[in-house]
Structure 1
Amino acid sequence: MENTVVGVYDSYAQAQNVMNELLACGFSRDEIQLSPETSDRTSTQTGDAGSGQHSGIGHFFRSLFGMEDEEDRQHHDIYAEAMRRGSCVVTVYAANEQERERAVDVMNRFDAVDISERESQWRSQGWTGYDQSAPMLSDSEIEKDRALYGQSRTQSMDTQDMGTQHMDTQQSGETRIPVVQEELRVGKRAVQRGGVRIYQRMTEKPVQESVQLREEHVNVERHPVDQPATEADMNALKEGAIEMRETAEEPVVSKTARVVEEVVVGKEATERTENINDTVRRTEVDVEQMGASDRSATGATTAADTSMTGAGMRDMGRSDYADTAMTSDDSDYRTHWQNAYGTSGGRYEDYDAAYRYGSTAAGSERYKNYRWEDAEPSMRSDWERDHPESAWDKVKDAVRYGAERVTGRQQRH
């Protein structure tokens, strides 16, 4: 399997798109394997069935990796476990190195799963290897498993970002703030849009025509006569026979075929221009000069605000955190919490991040000119992405209070 490329995807639709793109790039259907072959996961078998016969995933990966050494068995276990957890596997058998690189490029464009990261996450949860007797995960179990993976991946990225920032500060005495800008790239691919299928069949219908037919009949009549015989009568007095035949017409049917219509099937190619409307993001860095009296408050608030996730920090830009350096005193937040949430139980610490998030967002360029009604959907999306463990409806009043405290548009709730 020197030129064999294997890609793992979290949805059947995603894997099907990869296969269609590979076909459009010139690979034949015999060179591409999609497992499972249908989106119906209930029909997929995860191990050996019956009297030792291989089926489903087990048979496929044994034929792919061979199971000849420990490395082959490890590959078998990892990919088989991915399918047990609801992923799909696309395999391409490339004829040479050039085709292999082309297949890798296509698979990466569709966000193939980093199987090494998945394996590390599984092992951190206690997974020790593929168990062929283990059942397929249900839809709810798959959703939970991927949510845990996304959460652990975000935490890992945040840790790396903080570690990099700390290292730069310690080694060079300066902090580097990256300005990130997205670029929009639009490509195209051929997809099936339908077509026509023409059937040719024979039909019969009854027809009726009229024809005149002529028939002849022989009539024999006897009449009594009493007269002298003439010479002609005497000459006829001898033996003989007279024949008179009857004739009749009968219909004769014949058929002739004529071409009465033609069906012409062809294709017409047209071109159209489609405008792609999307958004690209860019981080903006604002520098604010602070006096000596602001330093202590800034340091205290910045330390508290680092409890927010790295994803949120990257979305709003590092400079936005400077805007939250209003005061290190959270007594105003605690007073609001006591009035709004105190009777429902819980702790102030459960809402502290929400107050900080609202004040940070309101001080950023992204939201400073928005009304709460306009900004809430976007702020809710960011919050639920970065804090999946905290429901928006539970903390939105705290977020709003933190935002309105910065803008000076506080309302009574």
Structure 2
Amino acid sequence: MTQTVTALFDKRADAEAAIQSLVQAGIPRETIRLTAGREGTAHSGSAYDHHRDEGGFWASLKDLFLPEEDRYTYSEGLSRGGTMLSIQARDEQAGQIAGLLDSSGAVHLDEREAMWRKEGWSGYSAGSAAAGATSTARSGAPASDETIPVVEERLQVGKRVSEAGRVRVRSYVTETPVQESVTLHDERVQVERRPVDRAPTPSDERLFAEKTIEAVAHGEQAVVSKEARVTEEIGLRKTTDDRTETISDTVRRTEVEVEDERGQVSRTGTTNTSSDRGR
């Protein structure tokens, strides 16, 4: 929800400095409106007459939807050379904006109204802003061009992307003990002694020569090697699903009721209805 924050400054320079402070605080410039008064106007002490200025300050503040007494006071301030700021702000920003306006030198309206009354300003009364227009319409003269705006809120639903979950795949190395059995063969050399008793043969003629015989024993040893094989692949893939969500909220609309001297009543968005009063 939004609301309008307003402030009055004696000097336009102070109002422009306040705008800079608001923008630096993150308030969008397009939400800030400046209405300049009559600078250098010498005030005579009499109250500002909005009836003579329907095209001026009184009319320029019409679209702000201010209460009649506030609109009357701001019109008086503008006629005295003041400058008005109005800011369309979200509810949670209103307090921050009001503090920035106060620190920038905004006028305290209650104190200023009291000072104006001492100077002869009559101030706002229940009939100040509307009585003249009502009596004019009843006398048959052309009615004022002042209108009642019909305001209607419209629900706008948008979309934004938010994180709904996260999946992370991470690889790391582990070591697992394994065992394999293998059969190994070992050779041994044994010296055999056999007793004999025979006559020497021709091959034994060199019995008394030096001779050496040897045998080499062999043994098998386990040989280990490793081979890496890719056994599986893991990846990530995103799929999308569509869902319909129903948003429920309320919107406001201004209803205007018009009743004429015959008692006929009509409302915005409906056809005329008659109460038969005056018939």
Shorter-normalised TM range: 0.3 to 0.5
The structure that has the greater radius of gyration is 2
Greater strand content: 2
- Higher RCO (CA-CA < 8 Å; seq separation 6+): 2
Q: Larger helix proportion, structure 1 or 2? A: 1
TM-score with structure 1 setting the length? 0.32
